[in-house]
Structure 1
Amino acid sequence: MGNGFGGNSTGTSERPALSRRRILGMSGVAGLAVLGAAACSDDSGSGKSKDAESGKQGKGSEESKKAKEGSRVTPPPPVGILGANFNGDPAKVTFDELEGVSATWLRGFFPMRDADKGAISEKPQIKKLLEAKERGYGTVLSLKFPYNEQDIPTPGTDAWKTAFERVKKVLPTIMDRVDILVIGNEPFLETRKNQRDRRLNLFYEKIAQYIIAYRAEHSARKTKLYMGALNHLDWANGQTGATKRWMKFVKKTKDIEGVDIHPHVTSLAGAKKYLDYILPRMRPEQKFLATEFSLVLLWKQHQTDPVSAQFAKKYKDAQGKQVWEVLREATEHRFTQQKWDDFLSMTPWFEDNKTYLQDQLEQFRKTERLAVATYGVSQDEAMTTNFTAKKNPWMLNSLYCPYTVRQGKGGLPGRNRVWIDQFRALQKTD
């Protein structure tokens, strides 16, 4: 959904047995070489220069050196995990940053239309996850099928054939290499409104059946399969015949481990509506993912509030401004860490929800059905460019804040201390 915990539509992936598994089905760096996925020469693999992506000459090669020297993490099994999420843009996420928040699981999504040209192993999202796997991280990959600007494929059409050819091209690189594969990113947001019906269900069911058959044929059962992700289940019109059929398919399909949800909400009560909907509609042994989640819709409700009197008193340049104007100023002239900290702590509606990350994970974990939840690692450019009162303030969700906070000591970006402290505290070590 949105960037940060979320895609850009509304978003926001969260170890002993797992870390001893195969490394990409082979061993060590040799395995990556065979796959044509040698350790990244830069953080993104997006085709931009090293300096453009990271701002640090040679950072990627240094990270590759660490990987070759055996720098590894040991992920807990996927039981109640909080991991990190880069969505579709791994460019700003470094392994130093992941280490800085003690993350052991990493999630991203791959837009399937990008499979049309070039080696799959060199696509930046997949390349990042393969390197993460090489380093020992648990990995979650969501396959994104964007059909907002064209009809969702139907059987017999060229678009249908193209969609399956893309899946066929991607699977050899990822199966038995990523730990969790999510079939779909946000189907009910990434299709046209008038096609979020049985046509959507049929397309994703057939894609899932194809992947299940491929996995069986290639004995690739180390990769677990989920269907995802459902959005807006807390909205009056969010629960439909198509979402009901989606859950029926999840329940009846034995090779599907469960469902993914993206609760970008205004309150914990909103997130609970997601759980109340999905849990009774799955088999008892099935679990759920929450690869994006946040209070971004609550933040958005306060965009046009006056900035707090306390903050305006301390920072004279904020006097007379609304919240969104202060956020825009931060994107244009990055704040010091202290000023960003003050803005958050002196903003009542943020301060009142400062334990959100802890509270949300507790809600998920209490169900005893959470596999992996993942939270946004870093702000990206799309969140902060030409910011207005109408844009979702994803920037308030991220752990690292390179677009609104000046770089601190130690070479890491500025940060949201509220979320980073909670993220570390919520990591499982068993």
Structure 2
Amino acid sequence: MTRHTTSRRMLLGVTGSTLLAAACSPSPSNDAKASGTTSTPTKSTGPVEGKAAAGKAPGGAPDGALGVNFNEDPTGLGAAQLQALSATWVRGFVPMTPGDLDGDVTQQRAIKALLAAHGDGRKTILSLKFPYALGPTKGPLPTPGSAELKDLLALVDRVLAAVVGKVDILTIGNEPFLETLPEERDKTLNVFYETLARHVIDFRARHGGSGSGTSLYMGALNNLDDPAGRTPATERWMRFVHRTPELAGVDIHPHVTSLQNAAKFVNYVLPQLRQDQKFLATEFSLVQFWKAHMADPVSPRFAERYDVDPGRKVWQVIGDAIEEPFPQEKWNDFVSLTRWFDDSRNYLTEQMKAFRDTGKLAVATYGGLQIESMASHWGADKTPWILNPLYANRTVRPGANGALGRNVWFDQFKALQASA
């Protein structure tokens, strides 16, 4: 992507319904049609209003809600920070690895944070992450009937015992097609996750079923804006979701360059959901758009105003803010004087409109804090997740009263709570 060639209209200015109609996404596969797994998505004539404005459908199911996502690290995201955002939904994930879940699983940091949010009256989403492409469990997926799978399911049961009935949504999987070895991203992956899903469904059935208060989703699909990311395995994933009545829908993670590409995710999954199913977007961002601009020179106006070498690159200026956080005004100027960043300042509002206009969004959650992993080992090739969150707590120094620095999306998030 060349610098400054993406206009605001191309990036953000099209309405959600227009994007969904125009996006170049495939129709359901012949295989899916033949197996009777497609349905027509609910159509919307405009923004979600009425009860959807409160993020709840008449039957109590979420409808168009927006929450905060902390991924694996809730450090610093407490009740005060959530209250400042008027946030009613919170999402995180837990790595399903023994080292992360030794002892009392309720003390694992993500689970503990979500249980605390639940205790404060907030709605919660927990994603179960199975990191077989990295970390201590790197290696092949456990196969049905194996001792390895038996041990894993015992670990799953310990987590389920702690959270079923206390989290509102449980997502089976985090990013399976990124967290599985490349050579197993085929039916091997499908068999593993289908086995997990049936186990979770059976557990919930023994502990209140759908009346437990915990809905089940399969998640989450990545890279659906790329034809290479839509494979026989993703098609089988969607068929399984469609034909399994205990599943409320599917999760997607559109980390993209534009709203048009995010629409491709939605257009892929919606025709393959049942009429009674919805989608989650527990992670979404323009991080791939940010990444394309990291090597741009800093804005000349910003360089002049703050006596910065005009030859410094954007990634270097962000590194300066990580090393010595900026005053809030300086960070605001960095955003407003950086044309491509300023042009996308309404991204959160526009993306949520596109999601809500489908009438099929259950909950979307957006990054809350700049967590430690976003800032560590910063360099030219680092993916700039640090530009996403609502709080700019690692690039902006705290205010006089200790309040965390804020990013450009903060006020939009609050407004979207009131107007959803």
* TM-score when normalising by structure 2: 0.83
Give the partner amino acid of 2:120: R
Residue from 215, 225, 242 that aligns with 1:251: 242
| CA pair 106-123 structure 1, distance change in 2 beyond 3 A | same
**SS of residue in 2 equivalent to 1:317:** coil
| CA pair 244-134 structure 1, distance change in 2 beyond 3 A | same
Residue from 259, 262, 279 that aligns with 1:268: 259
Give the partner amino acid of 2:64: G
Residue from 178, 194, 197 that aligns with 1:205: 194
Tell whether the 8 Å contact from 2:101 to 2:108 is kept in structure 1 after alignment: no
Tell whether the 8 Å contact from 1:331 to 1:385 is kept in structure 2 after alignment: no
Counterpart-to-counterpart distance in 1, 2:384 and 2:106:
33
Counterpart-to-counterpart distance in 2, 1:409 and 1:175:
41
Give the partner amino acid of 1:333: E
Q: Which runs of 5+ in 1 are unaligned?
A: 1-74
Tell whether the 8 Å contact from 1:81 to 1:428 is kept in structure 2 after alignment: no
Tell whether the 8 Å contact from 1:153 to 1:159 is kept in structure 2 after alignment: yes
Q: Which residue is 1:297 aligned to?
A: 288
Counterpart-to-counterpart distance in 2, 1:328 and 1:116:
34
CA apart distance, 1:324: 0.5
Q: Which residue is 1:106 aligned to?
A: 90
Q: Which residue is 1:138 aligned to?
A: 123
* TM-score when normalising by structure 1: 0.81
Residue from 393, 398, 419 that aligns with 2:409: 419
Give the partner amino acid of 1:102: S
CA apart distance, 1:168: 1.4
Q: Which residue is 2:368 aligned to?
A: 377
Q: Which residue is 1:27 aligned to?
A: none
CA apart distance, 1:76: 4.3
Q: Which runs of 5+ in 2 are unaligned?
A: 1-53, 57-61
Counterpart-to-counterpart distance in 2, 1:189 and 1:290:
16
**SS of residue in 1 equivalent to 2:298:** coil
CA apart distance, 1:132: 0.5
Matched, 1:93 2:77: yes
Tell whether the 8 Å contact from 2:370 to 2:393 is kept in structure 1 after alignment: yes
Q: Which residue is 1:154 aligned to?
A: 143
Residue from 182, 193, 197 that aligns with 1:193: 182
Tell whether the 8 Å contact from 1:226 to 1:256 is kept in structure 2 after alignment: yes
CA apart distance, 1:405: 0.6
Q: Which residue is 1:344 aligned to?
A: 335
Matched, 1:181 2:165: no
CA apart distance, 1:389: 1.4
Residue from 216, 219, 224 that aligns with 1:233: 224
Tell whether the 8 Å contact from 1:76 to 1:428 is kept in structure 2 after alignment: no
Counterpart-to-counterpart distance in 1, 2:293 and 2:349:
22
Q: Which residue is 1:67 aligned to?
A: none
Higher deviation after alignment, 253-262 or 405-414: 405-414
Q: Which residue is 1:83 aligned to?
A: 67
Tell whether the 8 Å contact from 1:140 to 1:181 is kept in structure 2 after alignment: yes
Counterpart-to-counterpart distance in 1, 2:364 and 2:400:
29
Count of matched residue positions in the alignment of Structure 1 and Structure 2: 355
Q: Which residue is 1:169 aligned to?
A: 158
CA apart distance, 1:111: 0.6
Larger RCO, structure (CA 8 Å, separation 6 or more): 2
**SS of residue in 2 equivalent to 1:357:** helix
Point out 4+ residue stretches in structure 1 off by more than 6 angstroms. none
CA apart distance, 1:206: 0.8
**SS of residue in 2 equivalent to 1:426:** helix
CA apart distance, 1:412: 1.8
CA apart distance, 1:173: 0.7
